Structure 1
Amino acid sequence: MYHLILSKQADKTLRKLPRDLSRRIKEKLIQIAENPYAQHNNVTKLRERPGYRLRVGDWRIIYEVENEKLIIFVLKVGPRGEVYDE
């Protein structure tokens, strides 16, 4: 199982969300910790930059995987239209 590390932005966003949405996102994060590349989790490799995208309803989670150390860095959590902005 991979170890999850949340960025400051991702952690802050998760704390501000309504409980039910936050719970759904956390459940998905636990699933990707078991298999960060699972297609049934709606995971897609990003095209323009390194990393992956996990879809949870209208929300997106952007993360990178470091296989050697079994670490997943959760970089961003946000609504579909805003999460890809730099």
Structure 2
Amino acid sequence: MNKYCVNGFKFQIEEVSRNKKTNNSGVYIQGNVDGTSQTIEYYGVIQEIIEVRYLGWPKKKIVLFRCEWFDPSPRGTKMDH
């Protein structure tokens, strides 16, 4: 998929957003550092959107974003493949 809309938000892969006036390919998550109370922020760019549908009842689906992640901390930028 190139685009996905959920809860009033529209996400696009980087390739689609590249030549647009607005960019909707950025994502952000916040996580804990190895079980401590310290948090770290990660920023990413959506590379691919995949929707997986499960057969049967009730119908279920999950949407996965494959992203290129960046760590903007003082430790420098890193990529998580």
- Report the TM range for the smaller structure's normalisation: under 0.3
TM-score, normalised with respect to structure 2:
0.27
Larger Rg: 2
Identify the structure with the greater strand proportion: 2
Highest relative contact order (Cα 8 Å, sep 6+), 1 or 2?
1
TM-score, normalised with respect to structure 1:
0.26
